[in-house]
Chains A and B, each alone.
Chain A
Amino acid sequence: MEEFFGTPDEPRLPDGTGLNLKLIETAAGPVAGNADGTEQGLFRQHCAACHGITGDGAGAMATTFDPYPRDFRRGTFKYTTTRADAKPLRSDLRRTLLRGIPGTGMPSFAELPPEQLDALVEYVIYLSLRGETEQYLVQLVVDEGEYLPLGVDAKEMVLEDAVLWVAEQWAVVEQNPQEYVVPVPPRPVCGSDAERAASIARGKELYASKDAQCAQCHGPTGAGDGEDERIYDDWNKPKKGVTPEQTAKLARLYTLPLQRLRARDFRDGAFHGGSSPEDLYRRIHIGIKGTPMPAAGPQPGAKGVFTPEDIWDVVNYILSLSGEK
């Protein structure tokens, strides 16, 4: 790992990842100021207390948060403009930095200069690439034990099969955003209160429909009190066994205890991925990656349960629950 990625003080990258090492170096290392006024060690200054120095989401403060700070090592990011089967764009991560995640411990970093935001975004991708490679290596060691399949150069295999593979998944999205970004059609204008009420009523019906199953987690009235109380995100699912004893045994393998996922209570009006109608449209269309919240809109290969018009009706219904328009 060190050969590929260096250390938290001296990061390194193999050729061909497409990441900007200069930016990564600005975010890495101990906190310091340079004579020209530029700063170093941005990740440790702003992020590591919660997200951990390796981006494992288990920093010193992590246990005090619900939900926990993001563990970047799975390579999954919840709030993106890209479709369900794609990595986020850099601009998605940047948006999260700019506005924070309302209702969680993630603050806004809007006061940071643009070049520092760029450096942090690049560093998060670097940690994610490193983390996914680490997962691959752990699996490899578990699978292979002390030897590797015949005739394989192990280092080249890890580079090809993990590091550059993951880098490519990030690169294709950045290079072809038109293919991966889910377009948000203009929100239909409700010219009168009656039109708005009709859209909300349609949205309510769609929300309650058996096809979409929204109420199963979010509850019949959107209070986040659905019958499925024991829901978990992909970061917590592996800590969960079938029996309480198995769960206790599994949980010991992890730094942070098992944490249940709470479906959003729409009456609060604070939405983690942003509260604008367009943000809500995307959450419903794309889903929330790494959670049980599925993509309800049309995706390549799947028609989905809602048309774009349906999604706008559901957005209007959800906004009506918190008194928003």
Chain B
Amino acid sequence: MGNINRRQFVAGSAAAAGAMASAMAMPRTARGADDAWGDLKGRLVYDGEAPERKKLVVDKDVECCGKFDIRDESLMVGEDGGLQNVYIYVRTKDVAVCPDLEKSCKEQVLLDNRDCIFMPHCMSIWASKQKYYIVNSDPVAQNVAFTPLLDTPANIILPVGGDATWHFKRAQRAPVPIACNYHPWESAYVLPLDHPYVAITGKDGSFTIPKLPVGELEFQIWHERVTYLDTKDWPKGRMKMKLQAGVNDLGIIKIPPSALEK
């Protein structure tokens, strides 16, 4: 959005407000369909013995939540060593977005309250295009609370069978923690971005970010234990690379356990 629009809007011009709304709806720095796009893929592996996930203290709504084996999700390592729940996202400002992604973008991102935990544990959202749909599948009331920087704080009650829709007004530089004021053990993260270029590693540690613009891009790598995943190759959890058309495969990346300790 051009700054002139925002200034005029704040000063109270209705016409400028309309201009701002249309500016927000415009796709950013569109490239032609013929331009080349590339995928980035790789697999993160925990280079050590998978840590034991501690059982969490469940002392509220025990008659319902007490029957679940609720464990710490802050460091999830799969059977094959895959490091789960690592965010990899484009940090370069005003990155060009492939028109295909605009078209295929899903309408919403789902956060479910199920078995007295948040599911999934890590999410991302294209803030200007997707809504955040929050449901409660548990037989007890749930609460979803988060405070994104300079955005509206949320503190939503979800009765049994309840749902809610939330819109992030702006992108964030890092994932935002989500809490439940009723059940203190519950935790999750959501990353609102102004583009679709983000992946969260799956159970096997693999990730793919499709249709990135070719050329130099900077990525941020983030994990909840340490925030920025600082390694020898990724100082401050950052990686610059020149994307080529087609598949750019980083292969297997071993993450030493020390990189996940604060």
Q: Are A18 and B155 within 8 A (Cβ)?
A: no
In the complex formed, the residue of B with least CB distance to A304 is: B157
Is A208 located at the chain interface by the 8 A CB criterion? no
Contact, CB under 8 Å: B6 / A168: yes
Question: What's the least CB distance linking A71 to chain B, in Å?
Answer: 14
Write the chain B residue with the least CB distance to A230: B184
B231 to chain A, nearest CB (A): 17
A305 contacts partner chain B, Cβ-Cβ < 8 Å: yes
Stretch from A55-63, A194-202, A211-219, A315-323 contacting the other chain: A211-219
Chain A hits for B182, CB < 8 A? 213, 216
Q: Are B159 and A211 in contact (CB under 8 A)?
A: yes
Question: With A151-B93, A301-B167, A305-B162 known to touch, is A132 a contact of B140 (CB < 8 Å)?
Answer: no
The smallest C-beta distance from B91 to any residue of chain A, in angstroms, reads 7
CA distance A75 to B160 in the complex (A): 32
Instruction: Indicate with 1 or 0, residue by residue over A83-94, a CB within 8 angstroms of chain B CB atoms.
Output: 011100000000
Indicate with 1 or 0, residue by residue over B170-187, a CB within 8 angstroms of chain A CB atoms.
100110000001100000
Of B43-51, B116-124, B143-151, the one touching chain A:
B143-151
- Tell whether A191 is near chain B: CB-to-CB under 8 Å: no
- B154 sits at the interface (CB 8 A): yes
Question: A227 vs B140: C-alpha distance in the bound complex, in angstroms?
Answer: 17
Chain A: interface residue total (CB-CB under 8 A)? 53
Q: Which residues of A contact B147 (CB under 8 A)?
A: 234
Contact (A292, B155) CB under 8 Å given A149-B92, A211-B141: yes
User: Is there contact, CB below 8 Å, between A164 and B156?
Assistant: no
Closest to A149 in B: B93
Contacts of A175 in B (CB 8 A): 12
* CB under 8 Å from chain A, chain B span 83-113: 91-93
Residues from chain B with Cβ under 8 Å of A149 in the complex: 91-93, 218
A164 and B150 form a contact (CB under 8 A)? no
B181 near A136 (CB under 8 angstroms)? no
- Looking at the complex, which of A106-114, A119-127, A152-160, A264-272 is the stretch in contact with chain B? A152-160
Smallest distance from the beta carbon of A129 to chain B beta carbons, Å? 11
Residue A220 interfacial (CB < 8 Å): no
A residues in contact with B145, CB < 8 Å: 292, 294
Residue in chain A with minimal CB distance to B169: A169
- CA of A162 to CA of B150, assembled, Å: 8
Contact A294 B181 (CB under 8 A): yes
How many residues from B make CB contacts under 8 Å with A? 42
A164 touches B3 (CB 8 A): yes
CB pair B6–A165 under 8 Å, yes or no, is yes
Interface residues as binary, B190-231 with A (CB distance below 8 Å gives 1, 0 otherwise): 000000000000000000000000000010000000000000
Q: Which of A166, A171, A210, A293 contacts B9 (CB 8 A)?
A: A171
Whether A302 pairs with B7 at a CB distance below 8 angstroms is no
Q: Which residues of B contact A152 (CB under 8 A)?
A: 93
CB-CB nearest in chain A for B3: A160
With A16-B7, A210-B141, A213-B141 already in contact, the answer to whether A295 and B162 are too (CB < 8 A) is no
Q: Cβ of A231: which chain B residues have Cβ within 8 Å of it?
A: 181
Distance of B137 from chain A, by nearest CB (Å): 15
From 256 to 282 in chain A, residues with beta carbon under 8 angstroms from any chain B beta carbon are: none
A294–B236 CA distance with the chains assembled, in angstroms: 36
The chain B residues found within 8 Å of chain A, CB to CB, are 1, 3, 6-12, 60, 91-93, 140-141, 143, 145, 147, 149-150, 152-157, 159-160, 162-167, 169-170, 173-174, 181-182, 218, 236
Please list the 7 inter-chain residue pairs (A to B) with the smallest Cβ-Cβ separation, ordered nearest first: A16-B7, A302-B164, A301-B165, A211-B159, A292-B181, A18-B10, A85-B152
Show 21 A/B contacts (Cβ-Cβ < 8 Å), sorted by A. A16-B8, A17-B10, A18-B12, A149-B92, A149-B218, A156-B3, A160-B6, A164-B6, A164-B7, A164-B10, A166-B150, A168-B6, A169-B152, A210-B140, A210-B160, A212-B141, A213-B143, A301-B165, A302-B163, A304-B157, A305-B157
